[in-house]
Amino acid sequence: MKILRASRMERCIGCHSCSLACARLVHKRLSWNTAGIRISSAGGLSTGFEARTCVACNPAPCATACPTGAFSQRKGGGVKVDRSLCIRCGNCAEACPVEAIYIDPEESFPYVCIHCGRCVPFCPHACLELADADEGRQEYGGGQGTGTGRDHGGQ
């Protein structure tokens, strides 16, 4: 099972190509706010950028907190999402330890990375990669962390 890793965020220029690819290809939306990966920075190029994405918890607290089964555990870590079951309660976002679930204020629907990797080829500086789940856990310290390149030395 593969998981998305933002392993080379020191290369990121904040172009949001990954977020736009996710929003367009996965969620059929045009806003980078409706993506499973979000890029942020406190100071732009001078301070660098961070990728906010799911760290593939196993077990996933968001799946446990979901009262309808819209979020279910994905084999190897992370979650699968069935939009048709979501009642938009926001319990998943509250349970996420790394704030990787974004609740769209217009429709109250949660957006989270599903580790499909469709964003990876759109990054012009190869900041993202799909890695084996076991390999990712070792670097993310057992599935805990923020999903940012900075927490792991930006390697």
Express each pLDDT in 53-71 by its tens digit. Answer: 999 999 999 999 999 999 9
The whole-angstrom separation of Cα 88 and Cα 10 is 35
Residue pLDDT, tens place only, 11-56 = 999 999 999 999 999 999 988 889 999 999 878 778 899 999 999 9
Per-residue pLDDT at 154: 33
Per-residue pLDDT at 121: 97
Per-residue pLDDT at 149: 37
Query: Which strand (E) or helix (H) includes residue 94?
Result: helix 91-95
- Computed over every residue of the chain, the mean pLDDT equals 86
Per-residue pLDDT at 133: 83
In the chain, the DSSP E strands lie at 2-5, 38-40, 50-52, 71-73, 79-81, 102-103, 110-111, 129-132
DSSP state of 46: G
Tokens of 79: 């979650």
Inform me whether the pLDDT recorded for 130 exceeds 90.
Answer: yes
Angle at 10 between CA 5 and CA 16, to 5 degrees: 70
**Domains annotated on the chain, with CATH:** 2-130 (3.30.70.20)
Least confidently predicted of 85-89, 105-109, 135-139, 147-151: 147-151
Inform me whether the pLDDT recorded for 142 exceeds 60.
Answer: no
Contact 80, 74 (CB under 8 A): yes
Residue 56 Cα to chain centre, angstroms: 9
Residue pLDDT, tens place only, 81-113 = 999 999 999 999 999 999 999 999 988 999 999
